Structure 1
Amino acid sequence: MDPQERIQAASKFLLQSPPGEINDVLNDVRNIISDDDTLQAGVLPALQEYNLAQFITASVPGRQHQSIVSEAARVPSGGEDEEADGEDRFWDPRSRTSFKFDHLTLEAKEPQSYEPEAESEPFRTALETSALTYISAHFHDGVVSVFPTHGALNKYVIQVVANKYNPANFWSGRWRSEYIVDLEARTITGRILVNVHYYEQGNVQLSTTHTISLELPSGIASSPEASSASKILAIISDEETKYQTSLNESYQDMGDKTFKSLRRALPMTRAKLDWDKVLGYKLGVELSGGKGGFGAST
């Protein structure tokens, strides 16, 4: 396998990394490349694609909160703070700060002030306030960012991400949701993505996508910003609650039916093992009724 093929293979592995485990995968693929400089340069596009798709969060320089790094967060080409080197910048609407983002170290750097479109900002801020209240009530350590859609008035993107990593118990998980609120079309369209990895003595991954398309109730666009924003977040809350409930019901059904169908509920003797007497059993004698079996004379 030539070096380019190795880079392509390493990139595919990275793009399939479970939540919170991309550094482990990166360390593993180092053995494939055997050249750290070549590895970092070759897989950087894959890391960037992965981070944007997974709503990786960055600690905003000089602030006490995190912001989502995604396509919606990218500063438009030709923006007022675009660097001569052409390196992408992202922005945090909450603090009106733009920054460069290192996709390898996951660090934000070189912060600059960034002013959003004035016409979109009042309603965006109202959505952000309602969204922050929502995640504080429903997501442990969740992060939300609300962006205006560049070049389109009255259109906003709400993104939510919540991560839970528990390597001591061999599992990790990530919830992502994204909603496009279009006041002109009076619609909310979006998707919920859930990824869970369980790897104790095995390797099982759950990956689900749930799409949403709803009409906004009449009166939302014309009512005051705070009232309309809270109603929109109430709609989102209802949809996410219904989806989580359906997931819980699916897990219960899998435990009661699907998984049980994969193995016998009882051994072939059709009798349960008396665990209180397990030390007194003689294999091949007690379990077979004393006739033949392991250890029997022939």
Structure 2
Amino acid sequence: MSSTEVVSSFIEGSPPGELNDVVKSIKALTSDSDPSLLQNPKVKAAFQRYNESQLVCTKLPGGNQYVLVSEHNRLDNDSSTYYDTTTSTSFSFDHTTQKASDSKSYTHDSPHNDLISSISKSLSTHFAEHYPPQSSSSGSGSAYTVSSSSDNQIALLISATKSSPQNFISGRWRTTLLYEPSAKSLSGTLSAQVHYYEDGNVALNTSRKISETNISDNGTEIVKRVAQVEKQYQEEVNRALVGMNEGSFRGLRRQLPVTRQRIEWEKVRGYSLSDNLKGK
């Protein structure tokens, strides 16, 4: 595997909210051997794939409004310009630094403009009720958008990221659903990622495919169905985690040593296994 492929895999495997940390590590490891590696077109393409697939939230310049980056709201074939129907703006996006710039007033022309507007209005209420407020802290943010994925589909996208380096944890929720007006169907994926890295490295990466039919072409009803499938998925994940905690995790290690006493880790250097084996 070439260095370009290795670096690309590191980038695309970055945990939520930790891309900048991964980039710093890559720079530290490659600065002497190939300082221009991050500017390689294949590596730049990896940045774009990561940002779009992760529905990265970015803050528009001059304010606290977060918007989403995805393949569904990218303008034409331009790999760095996107639009947001919620704020009626277009903006440039640097995939390496994850910074937005050059925001402008923009309205995307679509044959589904009325339905998009109706969905957006209902989704705004749902988003405010169930997702965390926007934060100016690094690596955190939440946003949604409804866009014309094509003349035949409408994309409903939600992303919420929480990164807390001081607590060694980060996570991201993504809703990526496509509504097809002609078939009155809703399909896509819901996914959740969590990374916990205090004195270890534990990751949760789970997703669920969605396929719903017979949905009214009414914004309120569409969002109501979105809320239902999100709630079902969240409950499934919660049940699975409780089951793992009470079952699988208990079998991984003893809750207490055979002495039935807690180990005082700050005094662990004073323990002598050899003396215990000798009965001293």
TM-score band w.r.t. shorter chain: 0.7 to 0.9
Q: Which of 104, 109, 116 does residue 101 from structure 2 map onto?
A: 109
- Residue in 2 aligned with 1:50? 50
- Residue in 1 aligned with 2:91? 99
Does structure 1 residue 177 correspond to structure 2 residue 175?
yes
Amino acid at match of 1:47: F
Does structure 1 residue 26 correspond to structure 2 residue 23?
yes
- Residue in 2 aligned with 1:7? 4
Query: How many angstroms apart in 1 are the aligned matches of 2:145 and 2:63?
Result: 14
Q: Confirm or deny: 8 A CA contact 1:6 1:33 kept in the other structure.
A: no
TM-score of the pair, normalised by structure 2: 0.84
- Residue in 2 aligned with 1:249? 239
**1:40-83 Cα distance to aligned partner (Å, 9 max, x none):** 31232211111111111222346652211110011124xxxxxx
Q: Confirm or deny: 8 A CA contact 2:52 2:71 kept in the other structure.
A: yes
Higher relative contact order (CA 8 A, sep 6+): 2
Query: How many angstroms apart in 2 are the aligned matches of 1:136 and 1:262?
Result: 40
Task: Choose 1 or 2 for highest CA Rg.
Answer: 1
Q: Would the alpha carbon gap of residues 9 and 118 (structure 1) be closer, same or farther in structure 2, given more than 3 Å must change?
A: closer
1:113 to partner: Cα distance: 3.6
Q: Please give the root-mean-square deviation of Cα atoms over the aligned residues, in Å.
A: 2.8
1:128 to partner: Cα distance: 0.7
Superposed counterparts of 1:196-215, under 5 Å = 196-215=194-213
Q: Which of 171, 190, 193 does residue 191 from structure 2 map onto?
A: 193
1:294 to partner: Cα distance: 4.6
Which stretches in structure 2 are left out of the alignment for 5+ residues? 134-141
TM-score of the pair, normalised by structure 1: 0.80
Runs of 4+ in structure 1 deviating by more than 6 angstroms, as ranges, are none
Query: How many angstroms apart in 1 are the aligned matches of 2:256 and 2:103?
Result: 63
1:94 to partner: Cα distance: 2.1
Percent identity over the alignment is 31
1:293 to partner: Cα distance: 4.7
**1:127-158 Cα distance to aligned partner (Å, 9 max, x none):** 01111110110010331100013333xx3100
Query: How many angstroms apart in 1 are the aligned matches of 2:255 and 2:8?
Result: 43
Q: Confirm or deny: 8 A CA contact 1:147 1:158 kept in the other structure.
A: yes
Q: Would the alpha carbon gap of residues 40 and 265 (structure 1) be closer, same or farther in structure 2, given more than 3 Å must change?
A: closer
Query: How many angstroms apart in 1 are the aligned matches of 2:262 and 2:15?
Result: 41
- The alignment of Structure 1 onto Structure 2 pairs a total of residues equal to 264
Q: Which of 156, 161, 166 does residue 168 from structure 1 map onto?
A: 166
Q: Bigger CA drift: 28-37 or 250-259?
A: 28-37
